[in-house]
Amino acid sequence: MPCNQWYRLVESYQDAVLSYSDAASALSVKQGPTFNETWQRAEEARIESENCRAHLLHHEHQHACLDSDSNGHRQLAGISSENLVLGDQGQSGG
């Protein structure tokens, strides 16, 4: 059973990924000097999302508050935390 901290970490990760998505989307409408500033904001958002993901995965491995499937992947009611946050974005090859 996931603990309260796991839910908070998932929420932080979701927020960070959404911020990164928004910042990356803004790149397509910026030109000239403002592009560099927009790029920097997107890079900062990317780093923040990576940090949030790392904190979530670290918590999962250290706290072990999720169930594991037959392959050893930690899951919440049959849903991996990675898919819970990001969904299937083609990484599975399908």
pLDDT at 68: 61
Give the helix ranges, DSSP H, for the chain: 4-26, 33-63, 81-86
For 18, the token pair is: 């959404």
What residue segments make up the domains of the chain, in order of their start? 4-83
Coil/strand/helix, residue 23: helix
* Cα(42)–Cα(30) distance, integer angstroms: 12
Residue 57: exposed, middle, or buried by beta-carbon count in 10 A (0-12, 13-18, 19+)?
A: middle
Highest-scoring range by mean pLDDT, 23-32, 37-46, 67-76, 83-92: 37-46
In tens, the pLDDT along 61-71 reads 888 777 666 66
